[in-house]
Amino acid sequence: MSLARSIIKRYYKLRLSKSKWHIISTLPQLKIKRSLNGSQSIYYKGKWVAQTRPLPELKKLATEECFIIATGPSIKTTDLSLLKEQSLYGVNGSATLCKKHEINFSLYTVIDPSFVKYKIDLIKQVIDSGTRCLFNYKVIKAICDHDPKILQGGKIYLVEEMNQAYHSNQLPADKFYFHTQHHPYIYLHPDKRPKETRVGFSKDVELGIFDGGTVTYWALQVAYYIGFKRIYILGMDLGGDRFYDTKDIALPSYLDDDYEKYIKPAFETAKLALDNDENVEVFNLAMNSRLPDSIIQKKPYDEVIAALNPT
């Protein structure tokens, strides 16, 4: 962190209450203003940049199946061209697969601003394609740091981490647990309360999304919110390098550090939520995934494709 950035951070820590410290990394450049229709106006360095779209309109995309395309090494050997007619939900570097397999994403999510630094051209390509892009405010700020014009004309949706919304005060973990433990659309892990607010499952992403240690977990909550009946996750190995990493460019991965602490408990919570909803099924198509079959049922990709195209 530069000296200037350190001074700015210190300034806002003195100026803002602790409950607003979660937005300091975006200040003073980024400002987000609410609109009456549920959209948000994005301003960067005092100038209007773009308008986000209301999250509820995503529900119009609901179909029977949705395929979340994650970035584990197993995705390299998966023939995604067989899914051309399906609703595809990409995350991070999985967008590099679109050209190879001649597919298009219906949805795309990035939540890590460091990904923007190395893959801004890829993100611009996805935005320009007309794909519905779901970003948090840190990613929106990172894109604007490169070029605010990238967002203009795109189908941009603001998604926010639970208890870290731009316009809301962050609650201490014990108060967050008290206010959410009986909420009908929020599930908390029975053994992770009250100190851990990254682990949970949100049935309504307008309330926020639990981080769960992986962008794939964000996508799962969004897909559930939209109303897909069967959600298939490809490339969720949760181990090994990302398929697009190279020796020269490899972003830091925290999968090993976060698996036991966040990722596994998050999907355990998802199982609790999904077991109470007979209208949706979730399958993990990465047969060698670290996540046990007892948490998210595994199913071979070939079997899924055969069911989609019965002879």
| Length reported for the chain | 311
Residue 201 to residues 20, 30, 56, 81, 256: CA-CA distances in angstroms? 23, 28, 18, 31, 21
pLDDT at residue 311 in the model: 67
- Is the CB of residue 142 less than 8 Å from the CB of residue 113? yes
164, two tokens: 């870290």
pLDDT at residue 191 in the model: 87
pLDDT at residue 254 in the model: 75
pLDDT at residue 248 in the model: 59
pLDDT at residue 243 in the model: 72
pLDDT at residue 251 in the model: 65
- Is the CB of residue 214 less than 8 Å from the CB of residue 238? yes
- Return the bridge partners of 187, or none: 201
Is 136 strand, coil or helix? coil
Q: Which CATH number fits domain 28-308: 3.90.1480, 3.40.1620, 3.10.20, 1.10.357?
A: 3.90.1480
pLDDT at residue 75 in the model: 97
pLDDT at residue 161 in the model: 98
Instruction: Please give the average pLDDT of every successive group of 10 residues along the chain, which has 311 residues.
Output: 87 97 97 94 98 98 98 96 98 97 98 96 98 98 98 97 97 94 95 79 98 97 98 94 67 82 96 96 98 98 94 67
pLDDT at residue 194 in the model: 60
pLDDT at residue 192 in the model: 75
- The pTM for the full model equals 0.95
Cis bond before residue 194 (omega within 30° of 0): yes
Helices (H) and strands (E) in the chain, counts: 9, 12
User: Domain ranges in the chain?
Assistant: 28-308
Sheet holding 30-34, edge to edge: 30-34, 40-44, 47-51
pLDDT at residue 239 in the model: 86
pLDDT at residue 4 in the model: 84
pLDDT at residue 240 in the model: 72
Closest CA to 289 of 231, 251, 236, 244: 236
pLDDT at residue 193 in the model: 66
